[in-house]
């Protein structure tokens, strides 16, 4: 579905790099289809030498020529980017924003009739294991959104949600890698405490969480069912789970997601 489509990126940071790498590795596009703009010449040189993509410092030129235009810039500068490209974006261009907290209405107000898709990806897109949620604007039909979903599927999993759910997405999967890193760090410290080197403890902790997550995704079983497979009567695992429950780990994770969701809502009202 991306054959012969011109795809542009305004902002050449880590997210743009991850998406370009994913598309190219998956064979969805060839380098000649991709153009990226950035304010930093060194960054553009890197992207050109790494992927063979075209580069420019002219965001209006990219906006004019792109069939799909990704806005991969920080939320702090999205306003000026919108003002710059709004006069030249055609109604056949699909505009995709990954700027957290910036609503579809913000774009639609400046670019009426343009298909807008808002996406919240998380940082593991950098290693091809991201989780992305898409919210579709009024003019973003399934025919318009499917190629965009393909792009994000090349760097992990993707779901479509209502825009009202985007703050909850931010609280769960958007912020979720931070929770996972805390867990890995804590398990690593525990491994050191019981006698492992830190290098070995990190490997044991990280691979264990990776394997557990993969079992959930690939078996389709409820996490509680998989937990029951590990927790034999009177054994070590159920003893450890008991301690986690005594210390409120489950409640703390729920509270963390709720707090992050509420914070996302607060930031969106600014």
Determine how many CB atoms are found less than 10 A away from the CB of residue 222: 10
**Shared domain check, 56 and 158:** yes
Is 132 part of any domain? yes
Residue with tokens 């990704």: 70
Whole-number pLDDT of residue 76 = 86
Determine how many CB atoms are found less than 10 A away from the CB of residue 214: 11
pLDDT digits (tens, 9 = 90+) for 107-146: 999 999 999 999 999 999 999 999 999 999 999 999 999 9
In this predicted structure, the answer to whether residue 184 has a pLDDT above a threshold of 90 is yes
In this predicted structure, the answer to whether residue 187 has a pLDDT above a threshold of 90 is yes
pLDDT digits (tens, 9 = 90+) for 51-102: 999 999 999 999 999 999 999 998 889 999 999 999 999 999 999 999 988 8
Task: Please state, in angstroms and rounded to a whole number, the distance separating the CA atoms of residues 19 and 72.
Answer: 10
Which domain does 185 fall in, by range? 174-268
DSSP letter for 38, please.
-
CATH number of 230's domain: 1.10.3730.10
Is 238 part of any domain? yes
**Shared domain check, 156 and 251:** no
pLDDT digits (tens, 9 = 90+) for 241-256: 999 999 999 999 999 9
Q: Which of 269, 219, 178, 18 is nearest to 9 (CA)?
A: 18
CATH number of 29's domain: 3.40.50.720
Task: Please state, in angstroms and rounded to a whole number, the distance separating the CA atoms of residues 113 and 56.
Answer: 27
Whole-number pLDDT of residue 100 = 86
pLDDT digits (tens, 9 = 90+) for 188-220: 999 999 999 999 999 999 999 999 999 999 999
**Shared domain check, 128 and 195:** no
> 164, 192, 219: which is the final residue of a domain?
164
| Percent of the chain scoring above 90 in pLDDT | 92
Is 39 part of any domain? yes
Whole-number pLDDT of residue 270 = 63
């Amino acid at each position: 579905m991306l054959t012969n489509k011109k795809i542009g990126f305004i902002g050449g940071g880590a997210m743009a790099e991850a998406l370009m790498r994913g598309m190219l590795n998956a064979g969805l596009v060839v380098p000649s289809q991709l153009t990226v703009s950035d304010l930093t010449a060194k960054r553009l040189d890197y992207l050109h030498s790494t992927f063979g993509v075209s580069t420019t410092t002219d965001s209006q030129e990219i906006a004019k020529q792109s069939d799909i235009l990704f806005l991969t810039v920080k939320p702090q500068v999205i306003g000026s980017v919108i003002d710059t490209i709004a006069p030249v974006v055609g109604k056949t261009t699909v505009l995709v924003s990954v700027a957290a907290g910036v609503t579809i209405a913000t774009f639609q107000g400046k670019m009426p009739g343009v298909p807008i898709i808002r996406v919240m990806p998380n940082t593991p897109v950098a290693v091809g294991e991201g989780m992305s949620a898409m919210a579709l604007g009024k003019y973003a039909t399934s025919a318009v959104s499917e190629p965009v979903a393909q792009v994000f599927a090349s760097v992990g999993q993707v779901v479509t949600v209502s825009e009202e759910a985007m703050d909850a997405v931010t609280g769960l999967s958007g912020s979720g890698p931070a929770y996972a890193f805390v867990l890995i760090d804590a398990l690593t410290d525990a491994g050191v405490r019981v006698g492992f080197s830190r290098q070995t403890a990190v490997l044991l902790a990280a691979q264990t969480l990776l394997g557990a997550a993969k079992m959930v995704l690939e078996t389709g079983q409820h996490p509680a069912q998989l937990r029951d497979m590990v927790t034999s009567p009177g054994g070590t695992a159920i003893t450890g789970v008991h301690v986690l429950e005594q210390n409120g780990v489950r409640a703390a994770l729920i509270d963390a997601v709720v707090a992050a969701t509420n914070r996302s809502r607060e930031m969106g009202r600014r």
